[in-house]
Structure 1
Amino acid sequence: MSAPLHGIFVTGTDTEIGKTRISAAIVALLGKCGLRAAGLKPIAAGTELIDGERINEDVHALRAASTLALSAAEICPYQFDAACAPHVAALLEGRQIERATVLTAVAAAAARADRIVVEGVGGFRVPLGRAEAVGAAGADWDSADLATDLGLPVLLVVGLRLGCINHALLTAEAIRARGLRLCGWVANTVDAGMPEVAHNLDALARGLGDAPCLGLVPRLPVPSPDAIAPYLNVPALHTIFDTQDHVTETP
């Protein structure tokens, strides 16, 4: 990127572990400081037809949380109908996810925003290049490359369920191997019946080292930004975003 961006990149230990919900809650918190905050998800797969329009629920949630007015296309230049791996969804539509297009879209939104929250797709290493080129040297790119291109600090959403420790530590290792800063992690409850949660959280805290825990979110009946906010470490988030001088209210 030609100009430094102000915000974070949000990734997860897997797909369907609450990245969008956490991202939207953080965007809303920034907006409550009076900042022009934008939630971006450059690539999204899976839409449903609502009132004659194809809608991706993640893009819709980020748009609703943002205080900077952006169109769905500005938030997400690549929306695909099939709910599958994005490079496959693109192939099904005869399209290709262009790296330059994604970076241009993020830069354009960032130029109008005070802070951005860029949500990745799936986990940290999801193929984005041509389906037929996956694995071919120099012919493919993935969501880790996108995070590296943006150069933003990375927040890891850990889906609390069996296996999350291994997934989190491997993801953190991959993030740091790219030279990126893991600025923190949020534990989001996926399995409400997960046993020995405290021991798992302790193992995560030790394994993730100097990256602080930025929240422990339970299963919520309506996981709206306002419902999630009380479970986030708001002062730590303001420090990460360098927004302490803008704080006007605490949720």
Structure 2
Amino acid sequence: MAKRTFFVAGTDTDVGKTLISTGLLEAANQRGLSTVAVKPIAAGCEQTEAGLRNSDALQLQQAASIKLSYEQVNPISLEPPIAPHIAAQQAGRRLDADRIAALCRGVMMQPADFMVIEGAGGWRVPLNHRQTLADVPKLLHTPVILVVGMKLGCISHTLLTVEAIVKDGLRLAGWVANRAEPQMSCYSENLETLKSMLSAPLLGEVPHIEDITAQNVAKYIDLAPLLADQ
């Protein structure tokens, strides 16, 4: 069973969850740890000869040292790039937190040192009329790594998300500041405000990277707080 498992959440959609997840995996790989990853739900998949494929899930599959089938990494694939519950409705499918948690547990049985479960969108993305994706880490009792997209509004988005994580009874294991907008006004002031208001450790400050690779992101990631507290 995976020794250390973390749910990677974002303050919003398009804040770099996959970018940071692959960086976390590569940082663990470089420490000699075995790694595995799962993105249980992916909306925005393309039809291929092998079936629906999602670019984020493919990146996770490639970055992990334990090579799983695509279906293990991304068991629920939805074609339109829209909210997962709407995409599922259009496909005549129903999303359920218990089933998704069970799919994640299947991957958690892998003998890995380090595992990431990448979420979709923000913390309260609906699965159906009564459940959100946040119910999955709640069922798994998984600590959370929060990816903060550094852009206008990130302070409020971050504090609200952290408040929801704590209210859901989960531990914020750490957070990563990802410079989603290279020309963000008052970047350092926003970062310092977040550092002063969040008690969880800052695991990395990732600049805007033109050559996006897991190796380049890993340079800015500090795994030490994650490996020390479990």
| Deviation, structure 1 residue 5 | 6.5
Superposed CA offset, 1:68-101 (max 9, x none): 1211111121110010000000011111113332
- Report what 1:246 is aligned to: none
Query: Aligned AA for 1:166?
Result: S
| Deviation, structure 1 residue 53 | 4.1
Q: Secondary structure at the match of 2:200?
A: coil
| Deviation, structure 1 residue 6 | 2.7
Query: What is the alpha-carbon distance in structure 1 between the residues aligned to residue 3 and residue 136 of structure 2?
Result: 13
Where in structure 2 are the equivalents of 1:90-129 lying within 5 Å? 90-114=88-112, 115-129=114-128
Query: What is the alpha-carbon distance in structure 1 between the residues aligned to residue 94 and residue 29 of structure 2?
Result: 33
Q: Secondary structure at the match of 1:186?
A: strand
- Report what 2:146 is aligned to: 156
Give 5+ residue unaligned stretches, structure 1. Answer: 135-139, 243-251
Query: What is the alpha-carbon distance in structure 1 between the residues aligned to residue 54 and residue 36 of structure 2?
Result: 17
Aligned Cα root-mean-square deviation (Å): 1.8
Is 1:233 the equivalent of 2:222?
yes
Query: What is the alpha-carbon distance in structure 2 between the residues aligned to residue 53 and residue 220 of structure 1?
Result: 31
Query: What is the alpha-carbon distance in structure 2 between the residues aligned to residue 236 and residue 143 of structure 1?
Result: 25
Q: Secondary structure at the match of 1:112?
A: coil
- Report what 1:147 is aligned to: 137
Query: What is the alpha-carbon distance in structure 1 between the residues aligned to residue 150 and residue 70 of structure 2?
Result: 30
Superposed CA offset, 1:25-61 (max 9, x none): 1112222333331111111100124566432011101
- 1:74 aligned to 65, 72, 75, which one? 72
Q: TM-score, normalized by length of structure 2?
A: 0.93
4+ residue runs over 6 A deviation: none
Superposed CA offset, 1:159-203 (max 9, x none): 000000000000000000111111111000111111111110111
Identity %: 38
Higher mean displacement: 26-35 or 8-17: 26-35
Query: What is the alpha-carbon distance in structure 2 between the residues aligned to residue 4 and residue 27 of structure 1?
Result: 13
Query: What is the alpha-carbon distance in structure 2 between the residues aligned to residue 222 and residue 113 of structure 1?
Result: 32
Q: Which protein is bigger by CA-based radius of gyration?
A: 1
- 1:224 aligned to 190, 213, 222, which one? 213
- 1:86 aligned to 67, 70, 84, which one? 84
Query: Aligned AA for 1:124?
Result: W
Q: Is the 8 A contact 1:43 1:76 kept in 2?
A: yes
Query: What is the alpha-carbon distance in structure 1 between the residues aligned to residue 3 and residue 133 of structure 2?
Result: 17
- Report what 1:247 is aligned to: none
Query: What is the alpha-carbon distance in structure 2 between the residues aligned to residue 189 and residue 195 of structure 1?
Result: 11
